[in-house]
Every structure is written in structure tokens, then in C-alpha cells.
Chain A
């Protein structure tokens, strides 16, 4: 069975292995999607239920961050190999984004 290794170069084995891998990945995507829908419903329900502002704001922000991580790493494939440069770009973008928002919300604090 040595020649059934995915990197054996045998086109048929590689092909079937890849089809299977794609299908598995697709199932992961559907699970991700279900969780994103779930988080969205919870976020809207928390606001609709009228909890305190001091609970809702950090809670919905946390749900948004988790959703975006799902979107970036699964839907946009950042979890795959060869995404070091995209990670560098996105994390530097997010750092500047964080500083910008921090500046603007603290400047109106008082």
C-alpha cells in the first residue's frame, strides 16, 4: 500500500484523496456557517431581550470577533498552509484599526 500515499504522484490516488479532502473541508464550512448563524441569533436575541447595556456591549463585540475569526480562518482559508503573508497583512491592519478606534473613542471620553 506504499503507493497509496497522497504524495505518491499516482494521479488517481492523488485525485481521490483530494476529492475526499475537499468534501471534508466542505463539511467543516457548513459547521462553521451553522455556528455563525447561531452566534448572530444569540447577539440579536441578547439585544431583543433587553439586558443591561454593560452586559450587551462586551457580549455582542465578543460574538462579532469570534464570527470574524471563523470567516477569516475557514471561509477565507487563512488556516491553510501558505498564508503567512496574509496573516502579517491582516494582523498589522487590525493593529492600526485598533489604535485608530481607541484614539477616536478616548478623545470624546469626557
Chain B
């Protein structure tokens, strides 16, 4: 099937993301990348666990002083819900409903931005209220590297989805962009996978000392 061919919901193939050779290659390459990302985040988690609460003096805030559950809970709900809305978007992609897919992607982006706003508030709060900085302790460096790197992934994921939405707004769905939307949604789910471990290992385990 040619990438530029026009489709209707009836002629749209079952797995549009893998209907072309390019789509198949992207699918394989992207999962390989996600395997690598797993290792990358593992090294950051390992560093964080080894350096947690390593502060030069008692005047520095530790994990139990810093974290507040309500904000982390809100952030978790925002990201988890955005994961579901991107599943909805891919459901409409598979049914060849471009408009509904764009709508759900828009909601996904909105939720992602809300998450990002919470994270900016959180870092700002730690910096000004607790003097918890990237350079203030090994704990600070490890914390901001891990959580900040995840936040960086959120920024990249949002830019990616927005770019796809704008770039394809007039084109509609075809086999050229279906793999692109599909992979962006996989990336967005992976960001949520990492966040599940961040809220568990950093925040929940940080609260119990």
C-alpha cells in the first residue's frame, strides 16, 4: 500500500502503523529505543537511590522534609489520565477518524502541560523554600537529574505531539503519518511508565524515609 493513498474507514488497514515497510521499520526501531531508554532511566534511578539524602550538613532538607503527597498525587492523576486520552486518540486513528483523534491528542497535550506546570511549581518551591538546589548537595543533583530528565521527556513528548497535530492538520490520516502518531503515543505511554516508578521510588519511598 502506498503511503499517499487515500482511504475511507472501510479501506483503512487493520494495523495502519505497520502497513508500510517504513512503518514496520519505525515500529521496530522505536521499541529498540524504548529498551535503551529503560536502561538510561535505570542508571538515573540507581544514582538517585545511592545518593538519596546525601547532604553535607543537617541544615539541608532531606526527602521527608521536602515532599508533599497531595501535589504528587495530582501530578500522577494528570499524567495517568493523559495516558488514557492518548489511547483514545489511537482508537480513533485505527477507526480512521482523524478529527476525533486530533481532539483527544489536544486533551492529552493539555493534561501534559498541566503536569509540567505542577512540576515547575514544585521545583521552584523546593528551590526557594528549602534551598534544595542542583548544586547544594549530591541528593539535590541526583534528584533534579532524575526528575528533571523525566520532565525533559514530557517537554519533548508535548512538542512532538503538537508538531504532528499542526503539521498534519490539513493532510488528514494516511499511511505516511499513521506510524508517526502511533509512535508519539507509545512515547507518551513510556513517559507515564517512568513516572510510575518516580512517584513510587522517589516520592512514596522518600516519604517513609
**Chain A residues proximal to chain B, CB less than 8 Å:** 11-12, 15, 18-19, 22, 25-26, 29-30, 33, 36-37, 40, 43-44, 47-48, 53, 56-57, 60-61, 63-64, 67-68, 71-72, 75-76, 82, 85-86, 89-90, 92-94, 96-98, 100-101, 103-105, 107-108
Contact = CB atoms under 8 A, between A and B. Distances in A.
Interface string B159-193: 00000000000000000000000000010011011
Given A47-B204, A60-B200, A64-B197, 10 more contacts: A33-B80, A37-B80, A44-B204, A47-B69, A61-B200, A71-B83, A75-B192, A90-B34, A104-B46, A105-B49
B115 interface: no
B205 A57 contact: yes
A90 B11 contact: no
A80 B46 CA distance: 32
A40 B186 CA distance: 21
Q: Please classify how large the interface on chain B is, using the bins under 10, 10 to 19, 20 to 34, 35 or more.
A: 35 or more
B11 to A, nearest CB: 7
Q: Is the interface of B mostly helix, strand, loop or mixed?
A: helix
Nearest to B46: A104
B39 A96 contact: yes
Contacts of A25: 91
A67 to B, nearest CB: 5
A15 B83 CA distance: 27
Given A37-B80, A85-B31, A68 B197 contact: yes
Given A89-B34, A90-B31, A75 B189 contact: yes
Given A53-B208, A76-B186, A68 B193 contact: yes
Contacts of A67: 196
B12 to A, nearest CB: 9
